[in-house]
Amino acid sequence: MEGRSRRRLLRLSKLYTFVTCGRARPEEGQGQIGGPGFSRVVFANDPDCFEATNLDYVSNYVSTTKYTLATFLPKSLFEQFRRVANMYFLVAGCLAFTPLAPYTAVSAILPLIVVIGATMLKEAIEDWRRYQQDIEVNNRKVKVHQGEGKFSDTEWKNLRVGDIVKVEKDEFFPADLILLSSSYEDAICYVETMNLDGETNLKLKQSLEVTAGLQTDTDFSGFKAIIKCEDPNANLYTFVGTMENEDQEYSLAPQQLLLRDSKLRNTDYIYGAVVFTGHDTKVMQNATSPPSKRSKVERKLDRIIYLLLSFLVLISFIGSVFFGISTKKDSRRDNRWYLKPDDSDIYFDPDRAASAAVLHFLTAMMLYGYFIPISLYVSIEIVKILQSIFINQDIQMYHEESDKPAHARTSNLNEELGQVDTILSDKTGTLTCNSMEFIKCSIAGTAYGHGVTEVERAMARRKGALLVDQPDTEQIIEGNHVVAKPSVKGFNFSDERIMNGNWINEPRSDVIHKFLRLLAICHTVIPEVDEVTRKISYEAESPDEASFVVAARELGFEFYQRTQSSISLHELDPLSGKLIDRSYTLLNILEFSSSRKRMSVIVRDEEGKLLLFSKGADSVMFERLAKDGREFEQSTREQINEYADAGLRTLVLAYRELDEEEYMEFNKKFTAAKNSVSADREEKIEEAADMIERNLILLGATAVEDKLQNGVPECIDKLAQAGIKIWVLTGDKMETAINIGFACSLLRQGMIQIIITLESPEILQLEKDGDKEAILKASKESVIRQIHEGKKLLGSSNTDSFALIIDGKSLGYALEDDVKNMFLELAMGCASVICCRSSPKQKALVTRLVKAGTRKVTLAIGDGANDVGMLQEADIGIGISGAEGMQAVMSSDVAIAQFRFLERLLLVHGHWCYRRISSMICYFFYKNITFGVTLFLYEAYASFSGKTAYNDWFLSLYNVIFTSLPVIALGVFDQDVSARFCLKFPMLYQEGVQNVLFSWSRILGWMFLGLCNANIIFFFCISAMQHQAFRRGGQVVGLEILGAVMYTCVVWVVNCQMALYITYFTLIQHIFIWGSIAVWYLFLVVYGAIPPSISTTAYLVFIEGLAPAPSYWIATLFVVTAAVIPYFTYSAIQMRFFPMYHNMIQWIRYEGKAEDPDYCHMIRQRSVRPTTVGVSARLDVKLSVASAQTLLPSRSAALARGQNKHAKGEQLARTDSVKGVVQHRSFVSVV
């Protein structure tokens, strides 16, 4: 309490750029208020007044559900019947109530109800969960002013526009509020916006000065104000409005706006006026659904359905034509006289044969509907959900340090994970840790810091040298023991020249003093003191900021307190050598932005001097130096380049002293710009800041390291071996990005770099001249010329590997409509692509270009809010749950904690999911064509009479009961190879990229197999049963017996076919396959025992007809054996002589050669393309160089080894022949 009381006495009227908002001048933009888009009026603390009740604003009740109780049935039914297959079955079900139907209406409608009902139930459960979350949020409590200075708890949903609320520490804001006051005297508060933009840093807000004195509940008893502001919109970072209080009008800005779902931090309480409620709040205005993504397999599935519907129409038309001809012939007395054509209705009337044919067409359309698998969609949804659960539960993708598992946020794209052709990755926080460490610096032209970065180690390895770290930990004495000083997060600096206060002995100690003081002052960090240990921790907007403040502390300048108007340091005095307390009055902070690329603070020291401290990118800082402030420019530039080569992120530090007159002029212009509510407010602020940030004196530069995440080089190596192309899109300098590329094995020694940049002397000279039109024309021509030169270089060599590196300026021109195709053609010919200085918009545009240009699956991976556009634009978005908040994760399709988990996600789960879904769909069509063609053949056999071969319920339960579970088990459990082999042989992944398992040839092959099986089943059963005595009394079979025999054979054949196809049996699959057959027999017994009025042709058919007849069992055995022989023969020949890549790996496992390195290497070499990226590529290059040096001896030795190995046994020789044939497989030849 004492600390808080002390804080309350201090004022912070000018802490941040946008903090101070005094009265706005009427001429500066208030004309917008009341106009279109700025018509909202809020009666603060008077929501019950007559004017307020007439405004009819929305309530604060928020609903995120997709349905309501009233709309669930119509909306969900509409969603289901948007699918053409479901619409077809609905029409067929309706026609089943007419005399045209070849089966009973109940048997047609019930399966459709089951399938649609199951999907609707899933939708209802998901929406119910959303509803429960809505209830929890809407019923949260907040204190609301009830009048006479009394506040009481009210549920969020009951808030109204104009209510005054009191929000306490660590509570969420219940609506969009105008900040009126807080527990701080100057009415500031700290806000966490992670739920809005994913950023974890705290943001500072401050109310108008006119309301800052409302410090207690009773102060609001007589408070009244009218707020006029913009209408509800989705922009989180802008707000324009005015507050009228006591006949005075004050301007409002984003600094006074507290957004719903933000959290109050480091502040005891705030008071606020509700301006936007419910779905008018900015967070709900932003709650748009993410872009709808459908996998390529799913889109192809739609085309297959259309193909089958076309086939269905065709055979129905053919059958109708034949039926019409046959019916017309019945007019002759000697033709089918037993059908009594003279006494027939329209369906068989020879005099109305054309009408009969049309009606038969409708009957056939219903009868042949079993070509379309009714349970396909619901089965796929079930399988994908179960696959997602397996991904979420994979312990190998669980990050223990952050306690974050993998999370498949959508199950729609599981199979797409197995078809990725190009990965577009962010760098900072994705490939690197986004955990910055201060490691080196340049002060007064002298380089300090002895640390060795990972990039430097990689560079040394490229040159064949070895770097040894110098000790980076100090030793301290505890008792009689010498122990290492504990490491400090964010600080990995080691240099005795300036550590432990030794900097005071350096030649330019005065510059070092200013440098360290700048580090300790020029920031927006918030210190927090642990009440128990009294240790200071820092809340920073970025890891860079935190590392600078920590470095200043470790080097003798400890920032320990920020108040409303000052920054306090424990500062090492160079004269006395002791720590002293110094306080600096904080006047202005000119914040960092991506366009400014710098930040500055203006302070007044204890001697009254006005100081401007500035830090920023070298590209903007050097041009702002004064003529007499460039003493160390040349050496600093050289050291910055060295730091960039070492993969470090650099900032230039500079300062200047201001005179009072200059500052007053700036502050007047700056304050006017801040108070403006016009559209060009930001431009005015930038203009004012630019005026003061000139004539700086250079102090030096900082260098921080963003270390690679664990396993990144190995992961990139595996992905490269899998044939996946990797692009890196980063905002870093080109030198830094290139060296990070070497460190993570994306680039390697000997790779030819095609660099496209606009840093040529000609372009730089034009920029100095300032002729914008000439700059644009020359820049575009330069980019086009460099692209053409790169394409020529690319075409000049078939053996070299290339890397394309392009900077942000050049990328802007390369993405223009008339250039982008040339750029893409060049990029796709390179093994690696690195885009430097890329903006978030450019990242999204590059992703769109690759996706549209290649028409292959693209995957984007990132961790920050600046990666959201890229993630949503790609076919698959992967969010890294890292240090930059959760916005990337919230916009992603799959979330993982580390980049290295991408290897297992794609090569294992992606490959399995693609194979399972592809095989599952192919099998679905196979089993339905097998079943449907038997119906067609029987109808043809019965003169296209529209008569079905099977009992109505046999038809209905085929897809729902007797063949549904085995195919689901296939989609969930089957594996062609284990996870270990997926990672050991990454090129297996190319089966998905090349779409080998779901190509049209494979789909039509499965359909052809179904056609063959149907013919075998029908003609063998007809031949076995026709004109043969079936029972002891000599009776021949009837329709009910023939139908049951054929159906038994169909159930056996399709389930045995499943058993032949599966490569990884589990107990569940055995139960489902053989259990489905057993359920068929059980159904025959139970259904046959039901009275014949219900069971019709199935009455006692098994007990009395089939079971006692040996011919039934013999025919079943013979037909099933004959039907599975074609696939068994094809599979054996293909596996033995024409194996696919997964077949070869299965041979390795079968023959026990999995641990034989020579054997495995031989399989890889015969089956994959050369790898040009990754650790393996480096090894291959080294081996090729070594072999070239000893060419003849190596060849002789290789031949000798090959002959010896060939002589060891027939088994290995056989495998050699297999591999020789495999080289001609289509997908292998491509890769």
* Catalytic positions: 426
Torsion of CA 85, 86, 90, 93, to 10 degrees: 70
- DSSP label at residue 975: -
Tokens of 1167: 């089956």
**In contact, 926 and 1009? CB cutoff 8 Å:** yes
Strands 894-896 and 876-880: parallel
Cβ–Cβ under 8 Å, residues 117 and 129: no
**Tokens linked to 136:** 């929890």
Cα(699)–Cα(1229) distance, integer angstroms: 59
State how far the Cα of 773 lies from the Cα of 783, in Å rounded to an integer. Answer: 16
Helices (H) and strands (E) in the chain, counts: 43, 35
Output Rg (C-alpha) for the chain, integer angstroms. Answer: 38
3-state secondary structure of 895: strand
Q: Is 400 helix (H, G, I), strand (E, B) or coil?
A: coil
φ/ψ of residue 736, rounded to 5 = -65, -45
φ, ψ dihedrals at 858, nearest 5°: -110, 145
Taking alpha carbons only, the member of 1092, 745, 812 closest to residue 951 is 1092
Identify whether the C-beta of residue 500 lies closer than 8 Å to the C-beta of residue 506. no
Contacts of 811 by beta carbon, 8 Å cutoff, 6+ apart: 835, 837, 838, 842, 846
Q: Name the nearest CA neighbour of 1152 among 1213, 1214, 1217, 1212.
A: 1212
What is the C-alpha to C-alpha distance for residues 1139 and 1146, in angstroms, rounded to an integer? 10
Q: Which amino acid is at 1110?
A: P
* Percentage helix, strand, coil for the chain under 3-state DSSP, each rounded to 5: 50, 15, 30
Residue type (1 letter), 1181 = V
Of 384, 425, 394, 423, the closest CA to residue 297 belongs to 384
- Identify the helix (H) or strand (E) that includes residue 925: helix 911-941
Tokens matching residue 465:
């040298």
CB atoms within 10 A of CB 143: 19
The whole-angstrom separation of Cα 607 and Cα 1014 is 98
Tokens 């190879």, residue located: 977
Name the residue with tokens 């007047």.
668
Fill in the DSSP letter of residue 625: B
- Tell me the angle at which helices 772-795 and 820-828 cross, rounded to the nearest 10 degrees: 30
Other beta carbons less than 10 A from residue 182's beta carbon:
25
Residue 252 amino acid letter: L
Side-chain half-sphere exposure of 169, counting CA atoms within 13 A: 6
Q: Is 323 exposed, middle or buried (0-12, 13-18, 19+ CB in 10 A)?
A: buried
Planar angle of CA 945, 947, 950, nearest 5 degrees: 155
CA distance 199 to 522: 21
Beta bridge partners of 557: 571
Cα separations (Å) of 11 from 184, 268, 570, 585, 590? Answer: 9, 17, 21, 11, 19
What tokens does 1140 get? 């696919």
Question: Residue 654 in 3-state DSSP?
Answer: strand
Listed residue (842, 876, 849) closest to 861, CA to CA? 876
